[in-house]
Amino acid sequence: MKNIKLSFIIILSIILYSCEKTVDNVDVPQQEPKLVVHCYISPEDSIINAYVYLSVPIFSYYDLDNYTPVTNAIVKISDFSNEAQLLYNGFDRYTISANSFPILPGNNYRLSVSAPGYTSVEGFCKVPLYMNQTLQLLSVDSVKIDDYNYEYKYKTQFIDNNGEGDFYRIAGNMVIVYTYDSMYADTFSNILYPKYGQEYFSDKTKDGEKILSELNYYKYYYEDKINSEEEIISLCFILLTTDEHYYKFHKSLSNYTGDDPFSEPTIVYSNIENGLGVFGAYRKYVIDYY
């Protein structure tokens, strides 16, 4: 399927290569770099992480240095009565432990970030009061692809809470240990991916209904380890009850079409005022098997 589109684009590009030209008869918009902040808070987390980067204006020199995190920003989180500052961990993000600043369900929070030379930004979110705990695993199927490769299909279900305005995300994790030659063991932690369209949910047309999601895991044969045995040592499924910002951001990111000249540009959601990125909140419910 992609081949048709690809062939068409390739043929077209070859023909059109000679008709390419730099535009000089229109004024191109200039833009200043903006602060890009991503932060997701939850009462079930032990650490609050905030990532702070800068945006790079398009019509400028592409510079890899600009894609490193901003190290001298002042990042503060507030619940409108108390405030705390997140500190740079020396590597890639700003953190604070949940003990110093607990996140409580139903509360409103503000995240403000400022850095010298750039416009200050801030974002607001509200932690969902209710945590959906109706997630259950309905069935496990394994489909044989060929002699050595399998696909595991996990069918999960949860029931939306009555009342509009609920958003969810489904995920899963699986840890497998391969032992081979009765001696060596390799441990792999694998993310289970939901099928397309079954990862982020809004209850807009499904209020109060059952929502199904199927997650897949492809197990590939370990070629050079013939006598390997596998053992799933942990399997868990995660249901996040998120706020609208979390949902809109991730959903618009998954729909992002990029530089495809054949479709309308998609705008990735942001609730950071004067900046880019997202400040969202969620509740986390995990069911463990094994």
Partner 1 sequence: MQKYKLYIFFLIVFSNTIIAQTRKHTISGFVKEKAGKETLIGVNIYLPALRTGTISNTYGFYSLTLPADSYQIVFSYVGYKSQTYHINLNADINLNIELDYMTDLTEVVITADKYELISQTSQMSMVEIPVKQVKSIPALLGEKDVLKVIQLMPGVQKGSEGSSGLYVRGGGADQNLIILDDATVYNAYHLFGFFSLFNGDAVKSIQLTKGGFPARYGGRLSSVLDINLKDGNRQKYSGEAGIGIVSSRLMVEGPIIKNKSSFIVSGRRTYIDALVTPFMPEDTRGGYYFYDLNAKINYDLDGNNKLYLSGYFGKDKFYVKYRDYFSQTKAGLYWDNATTTLRWNHLFNNKTFSNTSFIFSNYRMKIFLEETQQNTSFDMNYMSGIRDFALKYDVEYHPNPNNVIRAGILSTFHHFTPSAVVIKDDYLFNFKSEIKAIDVLESGLYIEDELKIKEKFKFNIGFRTSHFLIKNKMYMKPEPRFSGSYLLTDDMAVKLSYALMNQYVHLLSNTGIGLPTDLWVPSTENIPPQTTQQIAGGLAKDIIKYDLTVSLEGYYKKSNNTVGYREGASFLLMDDPTNAEEVNWEENMTQGQAWSYGSEFLIQRKTGKLTGWIGYTLSWTQLQFDEVNNGKKFYARYDRRHDIAIVGIYEINKNITVSSTWVYGTGNAITLPLAEYSPVPHDISNSNNDQYGNIYYGSINEYGEKNSFRMAPYHRLDLGIQFHKQFAKYERTLEISFYNLYNRRNPYFYFIGYEMYSSRRVLKQISIFPIIPSISWNIKF
Using CB under 8 A, which residues numbered 91 to 130 contact partner 1?
91-93, 95
**β 210-219/150-159 pair status:** antiparallel
d(CA 7, CA 201): 35
- 72 makes contact with partner 1 (CB under 8 A): no
The tokens describing 259, both together, are 């530089």
Residue whose entry in the numeric block shows the structure tokens 């590597």 = 91
- 238 makes contact with partner 1 (CB under 8 A): yes
Stretch touching partner 1 by CB under 8 A, among 77-85, 103-111, 123-131, 188-196: 188-196
- 14 makes contact with partner 1 (CB under 8 A): no
- 67 makes contact with partner 1 (CB under 8 A): yes
Binding-residue pattern over the window 250 to 269 for partner 1, x denoting contact by CB under 8 A? xxxx-xxxxx-xxxxxxxx-
Contacts of 170 (CB under 8 A, 6+ apart): 135, 156, 158, 194, 198, 199, 201, 213, 215, 237, 238, 239, 240
Output the smallest distance, CB 115 to partner 1, in A: 14
Stretch touching partner 1 by CB under 8 A, among 77-85, 109-117, 155-163, 249-257: 249-257
Q: CB atoms < 10 A from the CB of 254, how many?
A: 13
Could you say which residues in the range 138-157 bind partner 1, by CB under 8 A? 145
Q: Within 13 Å and on the Cβ side, how many CA atoms surround 171?
A: 11
- 3 makes contact with partner 1 (CB under 8 A): yes
Stretch touching partner 1 by CB under 8 A, among 5-13, 100-108, 113-121, 129-137: 5-13
- 189 makes contact with partner 1 (CB under 8 A): yes
Distances 135 to 90, 141, 153 between C-alpha atoms, Å: 38, 18, 16
- 245 makes contact with partner 1 (CB under 8 A): no
Number of residues that bind partner 1 (CB under 8 A): 81
| β-pair partners for 153 | 141, 216
| Closest among 248, 241, 222, 90 to 171, alpha carbons compared | 241
Shorter beta-carbon distance to partner 1: residue 60 or 85: 60
The backbone torsions φ and ψ at residue 108, rounded to the nearest 5 degrees and listed phi first, read -95, 145
- 283 makes contact with partner 1 (CB under 8 A): no
Binding-residue pattern over the window 23 to 62 for partner 1, x denoting contact by CB under 8 A? x-xx-xx-x-xx-x-x-x----xxx-x-x-xxxxxxxxxx
- 220 makes contact with partner 1 (CB under 8 A): no
Distance from the Cα of residue 23 to its chain's centroid = 36
